[in-house]
Structure 1
Amino acid sequence: MKLLRKLLWTYMPILVIMPLFFIVLSLVPNRYASAYRDTGRKVFIKKEAGGYKLYRNGRPFFVQGASGSAFLEQLREAGGNTIRTYDTLGLAAILDEAQKNDIAVIVGLPMPMSVYRDYFYADDEKVNAMTEAFRHTVTRYKDHPALLMWCLGNEPVMTWKPGYSAFYKAYNRMLNMIHATDPDHPVTTTVPNFNIAQVMMIRNKVPGLDLISFNTFGKLEQLNGQLEKYDWLWSGPFLVMEWGAYGPWESELTAWKAPLENTSTKKAEHYRYMYDKLMPLKHPNFLGSTVFFWGAKQEVTPTWFSMFSETGGPTESVTVMKELWKKTGHDAGLPRLKYMLVDGKGARDNLMFRPGSARSAEFFLEGDNKAEIASVRWRIMEEDWYKNDKRKRPPATLLDTLAGMSNGRKLLFKAPAKEGPYRIYVSIADEKGNIATANTPFYVLK
């Protein structure tokens, strides 16, 4: 009984105050609404009957975009109209190339996450330096015709926890500076999925943002329901800034925690399903999306999110986006991989080999594959995601382990001599350079 009274005494204020807070918040008009007035700005968000629309140069603009900074000509050819960058490196060239291809640019302004409140945001000198750096960037590029909007931070974490006043003060300072320096373009930020707490803190602590952008992968299927259920919390405009293949954090794992990656063919099917069936295309406040990732990117593997190879070969996902954006028919002439087997087994079999042992790998094509395979590339890479940054490029390809091909689809190789986790990759290409990829993790155990 004493314990129960102690718990009630401790948590009763929270149980009473939190519901009252949500009730009061739901009754307060969304403070961002007054920001959406057409005052002759180049880009603005307009509240119309039943929802919001984005306008660019006086015309409605729906974002059909991608995250990245390269292959802008291919983006235009696929029907895309927007690229989203993560930083300002080479921004002048990106904006110029985008303008040449009639592509709009969402410029990412990178900033430390809120967890660095003591190291960074409590240091006036550091905050001043970042604010002035952003001011210089905004001033330099605010009149570029390719600019669409600014994205202040990528998942900076709008936390509800106490002790973050320095972060919110600095964030609002930079946000206000951008608006004052460039009133012609909206400002957004990103949150992972529809995070109720972070959306609440944006509404309460950062009311000056013009819209919210969601980074969401496997949880995209929940977004429509969350937007409807919590419209009292956020009924403003939004973008889906990152979406695409299931993330490594959402995938099956081997016994040594290596995530299992789908083939590029399976990913392409996933892109089509997500956009057609899960994307909130009919939501009145939806301003568009940017698919992830338009280029080649190392994240756990070199192929996980990459819609292109390192040399620019497009995967089937690029063609799928063209079908979705331009409403074209399905292109059945691309290389399509079904799966890969190593010693006749799949990745779920937790493949463990002795050093130097003779092994084989083989890939299998989908039954409806109609493409002529012009080239096959095999690679074995050591993995170190378990001890280092998952975005760090793996050690060099171990070409000495490759013993040769027994036929067009089967590789004979020797397991590496060094103990540890590895992954074997295959990339097949047709005569036009379209590629399909697959990989299988394995472990060398002495």
Structure 2
Amino acid sequence: MVASCAASTVVKVAPAANGAWQLLRDGEPYVVRGAGGDTHLDVLKKIGGTTIRTWGIDQLDREVNGKSLLERCQELGLTVMAGIWIEHSRHGFDYSNPELITRQRDAVRACVRRYKNHPAILMWGLGNEMEGPNADGSDTRVWRELEQLARIVKEEDPDHPICTVIAGAATPKVQALMRDYPSLDILGVNAYGAAAEVGKAVAEAGWIKPFILAEFGPVGHWEVGQTPWGAPIEPLAREKAANYYTAHKSVLADSQGRCLGTFAFVWGQKQETTATWYGMFLATGEKLPAVDAVAYAWSGKWPSNRSPRIERLEASFAEGTVAPLEKLTAAAVVSDKEGDRLSYDWQVVAESTDRKEGGDHENAPPTFPECVVKGDGPRAELLAPSKPGPYRVFLYVRDGKGGASADNFPFLVK
């Protein structure tokens, strides 16, 4: 058992007027203003966040300064949608194999039994995109097994609801889940370009229970335009920030009271297509404009220190072709609300070749510091790499007070 000096909580989903739903924590209404990730908890609390989302039970035991994630959340007054990883067929799991099924059921039971009494637990995140990120949801074995797993969770812990997360809200998938997984309390949906429309989508599919927008953020790398050589064009940092704000506000407004909250993704840094596409922080710890936008969406107030804003990033070779070792220049126009002194970090990075699906781990591509001749200000002098191939120019701007911004563009050496 995981010990805690505080009493465990009782969390329920309860119907409200006109088909709406509400989350009740120890009898009091509770709104999820959430983030997907387990770092920068102090920042989350400061800007009005209430909840984090994890994906695997191992995250709950990770210690910082001798304290587990659950302990740190409890101290800050944050709650956790505790993810229990449910295996994917695309990773080799066979939903027709009785031995694997039994092993997974036993693991789920052990997870719930171990953590159910910790007061920071808000709900169980039973699976994430286990149907497959690009699947149509037609494999009924997955939904029927989730029904069995949900019954195990409820048998062990009747005091916390279950949320299962799917990729997108396509009608056939939602209806399959409704048919074969009736014990589900809360539907979780991961969506990016279509995040603002999730409330309408689940309603059109016939879903009448509560739901959560379980991941949202910038337009996905599979949803954008590409260069002629296939490099996806990453949205600008300011465009991403606007997406976070609009998605959160829109899904709540269009949910007819059935949306219990949202989880911004990803509360941290992650290499996925690029080093900056989804992360709301840099690897060096600074927050990006997306954090400011979420703060404003939640509270109507901006953080006391806003991140810098890259107004323009310009280069004649952006999304174009250059010769090996060609001399190049790039320039940016950057503003800072507080007038902070800014530092500039220009980088030339190879296009990622380790591309996965469904958020699986990707290795970062190499950088080429020798290609930055001068890069300590808003104008950079660069040198094209000697080896032909696809690359990107990144600009990182920091204000020295915990705020940053980052943009990039692809180019081809040929």
| TM-score (norm. length: structure 2) | 0.88
**Residue matched to 1:6:** none
Q: For the Cα contact (< 8 Å) 2:80–2:121, is it kept in 1? A: yes
**Residue matched to 1:155:** 129
Compare CA radii of gyration and give the structure with the larger one.
1
**Residue matched to 1:264:** 237
Runs of 4+ off more than 4 Å: 158-162, 329-333, 386-391
Deviation string 1:64-86 (CA, Å, 9 cap, x unpaired) is 11111111111000100000011
Q: For the Cα contact (< 8 Å) 1:420–1:443, is it kept in 2? A: yes
Are residue 146 (structure 1) and residue 120 (structure 2) matched? yes
**Residue matched to 1:403:** 373
Task: For 2:193, give the aligned amino acid.
Answer: G
Question: Gapped runs of 5+ residues in structure 2?
Answer: 1-7, 62-67
Answer with 153-162 or 216-225: which moved more. Answer: 153-162
**Residue matched to 1:81:** 50
Determine what percentage of the aligned residue pairs are the same residue: 28
**Residue matched to 1:290:** 263
| TM-score (norm. length: structure 1) | 0.82
Residue number among 112, 118, 122 corresponding to 2:87 in the alignment: 112
**Residue matched to 2:13:** 45
State how far apart, in whole Å, the 2-side matches of 1:278 and 1:168 are: 25
Task: For 2:209, give the aligned amino acid.
Answer: G
Q: CA deviation at 1:282?
A: 5.8
State how far apart, in whole Å, the 2-side matches of 1:210 and 1:255 are: 45
Q: For the Cα contact (< 8 Å) 1:319–1:331, is it kept in 2? A: no
Residue number among 216, 219, 222 corresponding to 1:249 in the alignment: 222
**Residue matched to 1:57:** 26
Query: How many aligned positions are there?
Result: 396
| Structure 1 residues 292 and 365, CA gap change in structure 2 (3 angstroms) | same
| Structure 1 residues 57 and 388, CA gap change in structure 2 (3 angstroms) | closer
Residue number among 205, 220, 236 corresponding to 2:180 in the alignment: 205
SS at match of 2:163: strand
**Residue matched to 2:4:** none
**Residue matched to 2:148:** 173
Task: For 2:15, give the aligned amino acid.
Answer: K
| Structure 1 residues 263 and 199, CA gap change in structure 2 (3 angstroms) | same
Q: CA deviation at 1:308?
A: 0.5
Q: For the Cα contact (< 8 Å) 2:11–2:122, is it kept in 1? A: yes
Residue number among 340, 353, 364 corresponding to 1:372 in the alignment: 340
Question: Gapped runs of 5+ residues in structure 1?
Answer: 1-39
Q: For the Cα contact (< 8 Å) 2:287–2:307, is it kept in 1? A: no
Are residue 71 (structure 1) and residue 45 (structure 2) matched? no
**Residue matched to 2:5:** none
Deviation string 1:59-104 (CA, Å, 9 cap, x unpaired) is 1111111111111111000100000011122313221111111111
Q: For the Cα contact (< 8 Å) 2:225–2:233, is it kept in 1? A: yes
Q: CA deviation at 1:384?
A: 2.8
SS at match of 1:203: helix
Q: For the Cα contact (< 8 Å) 1:373–1:428, is it kept in 2? A: no
Q: For the Cα contact (< 8 Å) 1:334–1:370, is it kept in 2? A: no
State how far apart, in whole Å, the 2-side matches of 1:49 and 1:372 are: 48
**Residue matched to 2:382:** 413
Are residue 443 (structure 1) and residue 412 (structure 2) matched? yes
Are residue 190 (structure 1) and residue 165 (structure 2) matched? yes
| Structure 1 residues 60 and 271, CA gap change in structure 2 (3 angstroms) | same
Task: For 2:267, give the aligned amino acid.
Answer: W
Q: For the Cα contact (< 8 Å) 1:68–1:85, is it kept in 2? A: yes
State how far apart, in whole Å, the 1-side matches of 2:355 and 2:244 are: 30
SS at match of 1:148: strand
Q: CA deviation at 1:369?
A: 5.3
Q: CA deviation at 1:119?
A: 4.8
Q: CA deviation at 1:430?
A: 0.9
Are residue 234 (structure 1) and residue 202 (structure 2) matched? no
Aligned 1:344-383 pairs, distance under 5 A = 344-346=316-318, 350-365=319-334, 371-383=339-351
Q: CA deviation at 1:287?
A: 0.7
Task: For 1:394, give the aligned amino acid.
Answer: A
